Structure 1
Amino acid sequence: MTSADQLPRRGERLSHAQQLLLPREQVDFALAPGPDLLSYDQYVISISGGKDSQASLDVLAHLFYEARILHRVTTVHADMGRADWPGTAALAREHAEHYGLRHEIVARSGCDLLDRVAERGKWPDRGRRWCTSDFKRGPIRRVITILVAESRAAGVTDRPIRVLNIMGHRAQESRERRQQAPFIHEPGTTCLCSACSAKRAVGQPPKTSFSNSRRIVDSWLPIHSWNLETVWSRIAVAGTRPHPAYSAGFPRASCVFCIFSSRSGLVRAAQLQPELAAQYATVEQKIGHRFRLDVSMAEVVAEATANTTTPAVADWHP
C-alpha cells in the first residue's frame, strides 16, 4: 500500500453470519492497549484462516498502514497438513495478500500431526497440548529468528531486535484465554531488557528463552476483549473471504478433528471428511489410545455413517 487509494475495498464479501452483524456505528473496534507500536523492528501476525485472525488482520493492516510501518509486518501461517480443512493454508495466504503483506507458511519438519500421534502412541489433550507447541509455536519462532537475522543484516547491530508477536486470541473463547494478559513481555534467560536483567540480579532468572540477547519479544492480543458480534462485523467490512468451515455449520475453523471439538462437531467433520476420519480411526486402533476419554474416533465414524441427517454443531472451547 502506497496511497489511500490502494487501501483494500470493503463490503464486497459478507460473512455467512449476517444475523450477528451490528450497525456500524454501534461497533467498537478498539484494540487492547499495551505496545508502543512504533518501537518495534519486526511485527509478526499469526493467521490461521479463521475468523479471529481474519478480523484482527483487517484492523491491524489499516493501523500499520496509517503508522507507515506496514513494510515491517510479516504474517505467518502454521500449516497442519491433512489435519487442517482443505484449502486452509491457501485461504490464509489469500488473507495476507489482500493487504499486500509478506506471508510465510511454516510447518513442523518431518512427519505430520497424525503420523506424530502414531509415533508417540498418544493423542494430545488439554494438559498436553504438544500439537500446538510442536506444530505452531515452534515453527513460528523459527520465523522470528529469521526476521531478527534480517534486521541485523540490514544494519541494526548495536542492540537487540525488538519483535511484536501478535495473535488473535479472544477472552470470550475459553477460561484459559480469559486469563491471558492482552500484552506481555516474553522473558528469556539471556534477555537484556530491564525486567529480565533485574530478575537475574536477584538470582531469579527467567526459565524461558523466547527473548534472548539478540531479540526482545513481546506478545499482543489486540482483539482480546472483542465479542463474536464484533468479529463478524469487522469481517463484513473487510472484503476478505471467511473460512468455508463456517458456512458448513462449524463455529470454529480449527483442525478438522480437534481434540477440543464437540462430539457433534467431530461427527459432522467425519461426514464431510470420511477418508480422513478413517485414517484417524486406524491410528487410534493401532496405538490403542482413545482419541478422547469421552469419545473414540471409531465411535465418531460409526455415528457419522449411521446418521443420515446433518447434525447441528455445538461450540467448544480451545
Structure 2
Amino acid sequence: MSNAAMIIVPTDIREKVREIEAAYTRYLAEFRIPDDHKIVVNFSAGKDSTTTATVAHHLFGGRVTNVMADNDNEHELTVEFARSIHEQIGCAPVQIVKRVYTDAEFERRRQSLRDRWPQRQAIRMGAYRGVVMPSLARADTKFGQAWQRTAERWGIEFDTPLSAALSVLRPSGNSFLDAALLHGKFPMMRDRFCTDELKIQIAFDAAIKPLLDDGEVVVQWSGVRADESDKRAGYARFASDERDPDYLYNFLPIHQWSAADVFALHKYFGIKPNPLYTQGASRVGCMNCVLSTKEEISETAARWPEHIEKHHAWEKKVRLASRWVHWMSVGTVSQAWMKKFDLPLGRAVQLYGLEPDVQRIEWSGFYGPRGTMGAPSAMDVVEWAKTGRGGKVYDLVKASLDTAVCSSRYGLCE
C-alpha cells in the first residue's frame, strides 16, 4: 500500500468531513480537552462560516452554538440569512448579538473633548509630527474665524469645532456609527476597531465568557481558510486562546479548503448560500467594508446605492467628531511641499515667486484615502471606483453593469 497522502477531489465532501472529524478527535486528545466541552461557531452568514456551522452540526448536533455579531453595517439580506439559516441546517437558531454604546460612554468622550480640545496641541505622529495645532474651542482667534468659514461651507451653524463635535456625540442607535463617533474616525487598515469591538469582543462577552465563567471548556470553530490571505495561511489549525488558554481553544476546520470545496458542501447538504453571492458579491459581511476594493465599491454603488448614501451621511457626522479634520479643514501648509525645499513647517516662505502648497481635508472619509485623493468622501470614492487603473478613465464594463441578472464570482448562476 502506498504511504502517499490521499488526494481528495473538491466534490468528495464525505471524505473531507471525515478528515475534519478525525483531526478534531486527535486535537481533543492532544490538548486533553474533555468530551463534554462546548462548541461555539463564529457565524458571519458568509459561505465559510455557513460551511463550518453545517459541519459542526452534522458531527455534534445540539452541542453546537452559532453566534453572530451584527455590527449594524451589514446588508439586510445577510442579517435575514443569519436569522433563517437554522431552517436549512437543522440546528438551533443563530444567537445574534450586538455591541450597544451607552450615553455614559458618550459622556466620558464628551468630557475628554471638553478637557483636551481647548488646548493647543502638538501632533504626535505622522507627517505633521511636532506641529502645534490651535485650540478648537475658541472663536476669537484667526483659526477660529477661518473655521467658521468651514462651518458655513459644511452647512452647519456652530461657533467652534468643540461645540460642533459635542452636538453629534450622542448614541445614534447604530453600533458602527457610534463606534466611529467615539473614535473620531472610521476604521482603517492599522486600526480596525470595528472588528475588535463590534465582532470579536462582543461575541466573546455575550456567548463565550458566560460559559467560561461557569467552568466550561470551549472550542471556537471559525471558517478561516488559508487561501484568503498570507496572514490567514499562517494560522495554526488548532491552538489555545490567549484570553483563557486553559479553557478556551480555536479550531479552523476548513483551513485548507478552497472556495469550490465550500460551495460543494453547500450543494451536498442542500443549502442555498447567502443570496448576495448571486448578486455580484465576492464576500459578505459589512456592506461595505472600509477596505473594500474598487470592484466591490462600484458593485455596491450600482446594486445598493442606499448603502453608499448611508456611509456619506455617516461621514457628515463623524467629521464633526474628528479633531484632525477640524484642524485641516481650514487649510494647512503641505509638509510634502516644505520638505521638497528642506524648509521647516510654519515658516512664512516664498521661493522665487512660489507659494507653499496648502493641504485641506474636508472629510473623515468612510473609505479612507483612495487613489491620489487625500480625504475623499464616499461619493468621490464611488466615482473613482468606476474608473480603470490610474483612476482617470471610466471602465466601460463597470459602467454597463446589469444589476437585473444573476452575477456570481463562484459560478453559482445556472
Amino acid in structure 1 at the alignment position of 2:84 = E
Which structure 2 residues correspond to residues 246-257 of structure 1 after superposition, within 5 A? Answer: 246-257=277-288
Secondary structure in 1 matching 2:217: strand
Q: How many pairs are equivalent? A: 256
Q: CA deviation at 1:276?
A: 2.2
In the TM superposition, residue 260 of structure 1 has moved relative to its aligned partner by 2.5
2:65 maps to 1:74: yes
Q: Which has the higher contact order (CA 8 A, sep 6+)?
A: 1
Counterpart mapping for 1:164-203 below 5 A: 164-187=219-242
Residue 78 of structure 2 corresponds to: 88
Residues 116 and 86 from structure 1, CA distance in 2 versus in 1: closer, same or farther, beyond 3 angstroms? Answer: same
Equivalent in the alignment of 2:315: 284
Amino acid at match of 1:164: V
Tell me if structure 2 keeps the 8 A contact 1:80–1:112: yes
| CA apart distance, 1:147 | 3.0
Q: Does 1:242 align with 2:273?
A: yes
Whole-angstrom distance in 2 between the partners of 1:25 and 1:95: 20
Q: Secondary structure at the match of 1:234?
A: helix
Q: 1:221 to 1:24 in 2, by over 3 A?
A: closer
Unaligned runs of 5+ in 2: 1-8, 102-173, 320-362, 387-393
Following the alignment from structure 1 to structure 2, what is the Cα–Cα distance between the partners of residues 105 and 272? 26
Deviates more, 1:88-97 or 1:249-258: 88-97
Q: Which amino acid aligns with 2:187?
A: P
State the Cα distance separating 1:87 from its structure 2 match: 2.6
By how many angstroms is 1:92 displaced?
Answer: 1.7
The 1:93–1:35 alpha-carbon spacing in structure 2 relative to 1, beyond 3 Å, is farther
Query: Which residue, out of 234, 245, 260, partners 2:291?
Result: 260
Structure 1 contact 85–256 (Cα < 8 Å) conserved: yes
Summarize deviations over 1:192-248 as a string: whole Å, max 9, x none.
xxxxxxxxxxxxxxxxxx217xx7100111101111111111111122221111101
Q: 1:232 aligns with which of 234, 243, 263?
A: 263
* Alignment match, 1:299: 380
Is residue 2:208 matched to residue 1:144?
A: yes
Cα separation, 1, equivalents of 2:86 and 2:55 = 13
Distance (Å, rounded) in 1 between the aligned partners of 2:181 and 2:264? 41
Give the letter for the 2:41 counterpart: I
- Residues in 2 aligned to 1:22 and 1:181: alpha-carbon distance in whole angstroms: 22
Matched, 1:310 2:367: no
- Higher alpha-carbon Rg: 2
Q: Which residue of 1 aligns with 2:360?
A: none
Q: Is 1:130 aligned with 2:193?
A: yes
Matched with 1:105 is: 96
Give unpaired runs (5+ residues) of structure 1.
1-20, 65-69, 153-159, 188-209
TM-score by length of 1: 0.71
8 Å contact kept, 1:27–1:233 = no
Counterparts of 2:49 and 2:76, CA distance in 1: 18
- When normalised by structure 2's length, the TM-score is 0.56
Matches of 1:141 and 1:250 in 2, distance apart? 28
Cα deviation, residue 134, structure 1: 0.5
Alignment partner of 1:211 is 2:269: no
1:27–1:146 distance in 2 versus 1, CA, 3 Å: same
Matched, 1:35 2:27: yes
Report the AA paired with residue 310 of structure 1.
Answer: L
How large is the RMSD of aligned CA atoms in angstroms? 2.9
Return the offset for 1:74. 0.7
Q: Which of the residues 58, 62, 66 maps onto 2:58?
A: 62
AA at the equivalent of 1:255: C
Change (3 A) 1:27 1:246: farther
Q: Aligned-pair distance for 1:40?
A: 4.5
Judged with a 3 Å threshold, the aligned counterparts in structure 2 of structure 1 residues 302 and 118 are, in CA distance, closer, same or farther, namely farther
Query: How far apart in 2 are the matches of 1:125 and 1:168?
Result: 23
Residues 102, 91 of structure 1: alpha-carbon distance in 2 compared, 3 angstrom cutoff? closer
Could you list the per-position Cα deviations for residues 298-317 of structure 1 after superposition, in whole angstroms to 9, with x for gaps in the alignment?
Answer: 223446899652188999xx
Match of 1:205 in 2: none
Amino acid at match of 1:211: D
Relative to structure 1, the CA distance from residue 227 to residue 27 in structure 2 (aligned partners, 3 Å threshold; closer, same or farther) is farther
| Local SS of the residue matching 1:144 | helix
Contact 1:271 1:304 survives alignment (8 Å): no
1:44 aligns with 2:125: no
Shift in CA distance, 108/177, structure 1 to aligned 2, threshold 3 Å: same
| TM superposition shift of 1:102 | 5.2
